[in-house]
Amino acid sequence: MEAYQVLLNEHLEDLNPVFAGEATCLPGAINHPVKRTMLLHYVLSGKGILYLDDQQYTVCAGQAFIIPADAHAHYVADEKDPWSYRWIGFTGRLAPAFAKLPAVFDAPSDTLCHLNGQKEPHPMLAYQLSGDLLQLYAAMIQPDVLPRSHVQKAIDYIELSYMNPLAIGDIADYVGLNPFYLSKLFKEKTGHTLQSHILQVRLAEAKRYLLLGYAVKEVAAMSGFKDIANFSKLFKREFGMNPTQWRIYDLENG
């Protein structure tokens, strides 16, 4: 069996990685977890069997399994196709919520992606793994019970800030949500992405400035585009003509 473990524990409040690692198991290898923290395993390849509180589960590549701190569990690699997996033990305010997940579930392919061979912990690893856990929490645990006001708040922020550089993280900080979850919620509620909404707002404002008589270079800057060439390209892709042509057309046909 090839395995490594890193010790972490930066005492983070929400999701605090304590230890983590990767393992490539021999056929039939049996593991008995240490029951100090919530444990999450993500299977990279192969398969095995999880025995959890008198229940038996087959676990395959692309799936994850959760072992709560107070559970009785062990797991066994398949005899013909033994698994390799990433795993993490964690505590924190949000950790108990992971017990709400099914014992075995299909997980995103980037689960615990920051672990990926990190045999020696670097200063940011605990924070990166906490982010990985938070992304999983946002995708699979946090219920979609947030009111539309969160989406509306993001829309209002874009309306007020479209002329400045806008990153998803900036909008998420303003709204008070995880960027991954805000993006997911925005798409579900509006039918389009945050980036596409930002572009539509900027293009709408650009049309307004064009009709007010501003030069195309000024319009680009005032609408939040970094350079005139990119602005003209995006404008033509959306409306079928460049900004100057569109202004002439609108004035003649308005």
The DSSP line for 143-186 is -S---HHHHHHHHHHHHHHTTS---HHHHHHHHTS-HHHHHHHH
Q: What integer pLDDT is reported at residue 50 of this predicted model?
A: 96
Q: What integer pLDDT is reported at residue 180 of this predicted model?
A: 87
13 with 111, same domain: the answer is yes
Task: Tell me the pLDDT band of 254, cut-offs 50, 70 and 90.
Answer: low
128 with 239, same domain: the answer is no
Task: Tell me the pLDDT band of 146, cut-offs 50, 70 and 90.
Answer: very low
Q: What is the extent of the structural domain holding 226?
A: 144-254
- Which amino acid is located at 154 in the chain? A
189 with 133, same domain: the answer is no
* Domain limit, last residue, from 107, 140, 173: 140
226 with 112, same domain: the answer is no
* Domain limit, last residue, from 96, 116, 140: 140
CATH of the domain at 25: 2.60.120.10
This prediction's pTM: 0.57
Q: What integer pLDDT is reported at residue 143 of this predicted model?
A: 55
121 with 185, same domain: the answer is no
Residues 6+ apart with CB under 8 A from 195: 168
Average pLDDT, the chain: 89
132 with 212, same domain: the answer is no
Q: What integer pLDDT is reported at residue 120 of this predicted model?
A: 73
* Sheet bearing 104-106, strands edge to edge: 2-7, 16-24, 84-91, 38-45, 63-67, 104-106
The dihedrals phi and psi of 54, each to the nearest 5 degrees, come to 70, 10
CATH of the domain at 171: 1.10.10.60
47 with 153, same domain: the answer is no
* Domain limit, last residue, from 140, 164, 180: 140
Q: Which of 38-47, 82-91, 160-169 has the lowest mean pLDDT?
A: 160-169
192 with 123, same domain: the answer is no
177 with 100, same domain: the answer is no
Number of domains in the chain: 2
Q: Using one digit for the tens of pLDDT, what is the confidence trace for 87-109?
A: 999 999 889 989 888 999 999 88
CA–CA gap between residue 142 and residue 160 (Å, rounded)? 29
134 with 233, same domain: the answer is no
